[in-house]
């Protein structure tokens, strides 16, 4: 049997630096746990534009369709701000998501105990927080037609269309319910059924899928604005939240900031199963390319390392090894090792990007 395959796309800014630490973690699992991957690497974003005049070549897109999982660093930077919209670095990432049909975006919001004081919320509200937001990623108002800016009489009108089909809602609902079965068996679906017909359909379809296929999972419904309020009031009431593209974009960013550190947050985007049964998948940190600190050794590699942990869990059915890696990161934080984004006055031991990666490897060694 061939080894599972990974395509690494470091991208721009701090992307290559943090992904270099992920490569070391991947090698550790091969050397110590018998988990060997066939790893290839290519360009995306500004790096691809510099080399090929496009943020994603057809050849790289074809590779992404063939491998078992894609690990991406980050794309973009001010260097590319004046490029035509069609070749901006972000278009490479959007093309990956669209052509791989990565319809379920998984955004965990986990607050490590060692970082609970970093949140703007009271420690008792966020300490131990562990929720998962499942955002529909390939439809809704960001893709609906008609759209655009046009003249109507004497003024301009901006138009976007919120559009969902039953099947688009059903498949992301199933992703949320399957995840819940592996967690605390609880899903909250968020929409605006009180004022939007798309929200009415969303609530109806989620309920139908639940009643027919997942009656063992606890299901609740909440209006998205009330959900935002409850996330800031008592976020630990939630386990899995499933919502549409627009609300998921906003709610996942809100939840991310509950944790107090954007540099610690991974994400996964999952699609339909391939021939081998694995879902098409792309894993990336929530943070951006941070060009202002690129090359300084200040970048935090933990979000990218935790994104690989998500790959172990959701693409390769290695839940125990994913937990091993997550606990190694948690131990490093508990020991007070801190990259620049995690430093507070007199708190912790300063570490460079490479030193943080080395600390994670040392914690993995100690787990054996």
Q: Which residues are catalytic?
A: 142, 192, 225, 249, 253
Q: How far is CA 116 from CA 240, 244, 265, in A?
A: 21, 29, 14
Which of 312, 305, 297, 295 is closest to 329 using CA atoms? 305
Spatial CB neighbours of 229, under 8 Å, sequence gap ≥ 6: none
Q: How far is CA 198 from CA 12, 63, 241, in A?
A: 37, 36, 18
CA atoms of 75 and 90, how far apart (whole Å): 6
Q: How far is CA 3 from CA 40, 67, 165, in A?
A: 12, 11, 37
Q: Say if CB 129 and CB 110 are below 8 A apart.
A: yes
CA atoms of 8 and 107, how far apart (whole Å): 20
Query: What H or E segment, with its residue span, contains residue 170?
Result: helix 166-181
DSSP annotation of 141 reads G
Give the strand pairing for 155-159 and 148-152: antiparallel
């Amino acid at each position: 049997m061939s080894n599972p395959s990974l395509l690494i796309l470091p991208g721009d800014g701090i992307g290559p630096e943090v992904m270099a630490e992920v490569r070391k973690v991947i090698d550790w699992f091969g050397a110590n746990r018998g988990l060997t991957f066939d790893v290839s690497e290519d360009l995306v974003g500004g790096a691809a534009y510099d080399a090929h005049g496009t943020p994603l070549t057809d050849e790289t897109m074809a590779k992404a369709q063939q491998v078992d999982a894609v690990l991406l660093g980050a794309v973009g930077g001010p260097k590319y701000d004046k490029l035509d919209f069609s070749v901006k670095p972000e278009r490479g990432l959007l093309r990956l998501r669209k052509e791989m049909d990565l319809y379920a975006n998984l955004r965990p919001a986990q607050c490590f105990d060692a970082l609970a004081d970093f949140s703007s919320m009271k420690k008792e509200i966020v300490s131990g927080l562990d929720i998962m937001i499942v955002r529909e990623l390939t439809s809704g108002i960001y893709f609906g037609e008609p759209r655009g800016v046009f003249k109507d009489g004497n003024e301009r009108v901006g138009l976007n269309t919120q559009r969902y089909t039953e099947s688009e809602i059903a498949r992301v609902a199933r992703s949320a319910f399957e995840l819940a079965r592996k967690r605390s068996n609880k899903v909250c679906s968020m929409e605006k059924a009180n004022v939007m017909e798309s929200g009415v359909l969303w609530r109806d379809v989620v309920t139908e899928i639940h009643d027919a296929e997942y009656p063992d999972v606890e299901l609740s419904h909440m209006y998205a604005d009330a959900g935002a309020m409850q996330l800031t009031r008592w976020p630990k009431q939630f386990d899995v939240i499933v919502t549409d593209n627009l609300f998921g974009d906003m709610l996942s960013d809100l939840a991310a900031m509950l944790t107090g550190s954007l540099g610690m947050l991974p994400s996964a985007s999952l699609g339909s199963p391939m021939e081998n049964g694995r879902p098409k998948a792309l894993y990336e940190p929530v943070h951006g390319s941070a060009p202002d600190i690129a090359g300084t050794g200040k970048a935090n590699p933990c979000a990218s390392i935790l994104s690989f942990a998500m790959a172990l869990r959701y693409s390769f059915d290695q839940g125990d090894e994913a937990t091993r890696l997550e606990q190694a990161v948690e131990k490093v934080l508990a020991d007070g090792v801190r990259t620049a984004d995690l430093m507070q006055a007199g708190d912790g031991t300063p570490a460079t990007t490479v030193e943080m990666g080395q600390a994670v490897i040392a914690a993995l060694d100690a787990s054996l």
